[in-house]
Amino acid sequence: MISRYTLPEMGRVWTTENRYQCWLEVELAASRALNEMGIIPDEDYRQIAEKADFNCDRIDEIELVTKHDIIAFLTNVAEYVGPASRWIHYGMTSSDVLDTATALQLRQAGELILTQLQRLAENLKLQAKANRNTVCMGRSHGIHAEPTSFGLKFALWLDECNRNIARLEEAIKGISVGMFSGAVGNYAHLDPQLEVLACRYLDLEPVNISTQVIQRDRHAHFLHVIALIGSLLEKIALEIRHLQRTEVLEAEESFTKGQKGSSAMPHKRNPIVSEQLCGLARVLRSNAHAAMENNALWHERDISHSSVERIILPDSCILIHYMLERSINLVANLVLYPDNMKANIDITNGLVFSQALLLRLTDAGLTREEAYSLVQENAMSCWESGKPLLDKVLADERITNIIPKAEIHDIFDFKRYMRHVDYIYQRCGIK
């Protein structure tokens, strides 16, 4: 992933040095288990534990000859350890190291993502609380529907964010597994107890069964959860983009001192963060699709998945971590314009109360078809004339003969649209 989208703490997880460090931890866990099982002599294990190390440049140098990264790594570690290195990688195959170490990296990355996701949830909750009683226009198909609470937008996003937290916790658990089962996964040269012990040292769960690889449904699930988190960020960003349009301007990304919106037009304040989030979410979905393609491999293993994962695993983790940081700042510093929200409600001259009127007429005894026709006739006249719907209704004796004028005024009241907001908040866990 390019440095533009890489935050330091996540970038460190995917460095070559950390990758080799995870490999070393896996090899040391296996050696420790073999020593505990009485296979590696105590003195040899002490040499391994004390001296095992690596040098990234030296591994690259060796790999130019071996054309095999694990062998290059093992050769370099042996240079540090000496004769006792004969026990390192004993009975194992490359994927025992690669897949188990990848689990360590994914867990490190997943925990960073989880922390960011929890921070986003806190900021969404704060905005939901702050805007609980802010009335705005609810829209369907991009058209004015009925008034609602602006805080419900944040409550909706928070509820989905909490589901994503639960999904991510499950996905982290799903990829926090290791294997030490040998060339085709049948423990031909290893005792399964080695796997149990080594995984315990690494705080991983042993897989129930493997081939030469840990099965890739786990990784596909992890990346699909990341893609789902990305789709939430896109959902938030897309709403803000619409609300920031000049003709709407109910919400706006913060615009900092010295910031420039356009090289040509000094007046521009564009929703650049929101647009960026919508674009990057597409990459996450593409990577999740690639992860699905990795699940079906030839027989006990091929390496068609390997080259793909060198790209999609770090890239998706780095991207979602960056996107969450941007989203947290976006939500926390979002500029809202309640006066514009009210003005936008008013531009349709009360048309938004049409359903309330429809229901009151049906309560009074009209059929739904009769009531609908009567309200629609007045609504269309309101559209065409620009006169308030309330005035139209009060002048229509067909309605005033059924509903007293005092009750008609009550129909055109915003309170009905806010009366159950607290109930929804309670269900979303917002006090």
What CATH number does residue 73 fall under? 1.10.275.10
CATH code, 253: 1.20.200.10
Distances from the Cα of 359 to the Cα of 126, 219, 423, angstroms: 35, 51, 22
What's the mean pLDDT in 219-246? 97
Cα–Cα dist 204/197, whole Å? 10
| Beta carbons within 8 Å of 288's beta carbon, 6+ residues apart | 220, 223, 224, 226, 227, 316
Residues 377 and 312 occupy one common structural domain: no
- Record the pTM: 0.94
Q: Is 262 a known active-site residue?
A: yes
Q: Say if residue 398 is in the same domain as residue 276.
A: no
User: Of 56, 87, 118, which residue sits at a domain end?
Assistant: 87
Q: Which of 206, 161, 194, 187 is nearest to 327 (CA)?
A: 161
Domain-embedded: residue 420:
no
Query: Which amino acid is it at 32?
Result: R
Q: Is residue 54 part of a domain?
A: yes
Task: Tell me whether residue 168 is exposed, middle or buried, using C-beta atoms within 10 angstroms of its C-beta: 0 to 12, 13 to 18, 19 or more.
Answer: buried
The answer to whether position 419 is within a domain reads: no
| pLDDT score recorded for residue 286 | 97
Q: Which residues pair with 147 in a beta bridge?
A: 137
My answer on whether 266 and 172 are in the same domain is yes
Position 233 scores a pLDDT of 98
Same domain, 14 and 136: no
User: What's the DSSP call for residue 207?
Assistant: P
pLDDT band for 262, please (50, 70, 90 cuts): confident
Whether residues 116 and 251 share a domain: the answer is: yes
Domain-terminating residue out of 87, 122, 149: 87
Q: How high is the pLDDT of residue 136?
A: 97
Quote the pLDDT of residue 260. Answer: 81
The rounded percent of the chain whose pLDDT value lies above 90 is 91
Is 144 a residue of the active site?
Answer: no
* Least confidently predicted of 58-62, 235-239, 265-269: 265-269
In a domain, 424, yes or no: no
Residues 139 and 103 in one domain: yes
* Within-domain flag for 109: yes
Mean pLDDT in residue range 313-320: 97
CA angle 116, 274, 169 (to 5 degrees): 25
Using CA atoms, how far apart are residues 237 and 274, in angstroms rounded to an integer?
4
Q: Which of 127, 136, 124, 126 is nearest to 418 (CA)?
A: 136
Task: State the average pLDDT over residues 389-403.
Answer: 93
Are 330 and 253 contacting, i.e. CB atoms less than 8 angstroms apart?
yes
Query: Going by C-beta distance under 8 Å and a sequence separation of 6 or more, which residues neighbour residue 164?
Result: 117, 225, 228, 229, 232
Contact 145, 345 (CB under 8 A): no
Q: Does residue 421 sit within a domain?
A: no
Please tell me whether residues 131 and 257 are part of one structural domain.
yes
pLDDT at 378 over 90: yes
Q: Is 151 exposed, middle or buried (0-12, 13-18, 19+ CB in 10 A)?
A: buried
Q: How confident is the model at residue 257 (pLDDT cuts 50, 70, 90)?
A: confident
- Residue tagged active-site, from 3, 141, 263, 299: 141
Residues 44 and 125 in one domain: no
Same domain, 159 and 48: no
pLDDT at 171: 98
**Which residue shows structure tokens 């269309």?**
380
Which pLDDT score is estimated for 268?
Answer: 81
- The CATH number assigned to the domain holding 363 equals 1.10.40.30
Both 47 and 177 in one domain: the answer is no
Looking at the structure, do residues 338 and 355 belong to the same domain, yes or no? no
pLDDT at 302 over 90: no
359 inside domain = yes
Which of the residues 68, 189, 254, 262 is marked catalytic? 262
Residues spanned by the domain of 24: 3-87
Backbone torsions φ then ψ of 140, nearest 5 degrees: -130, 140
Same domain, 78 and 221: no
Domain contains 426: no
Q: How many domains does the chain have?
A: 3
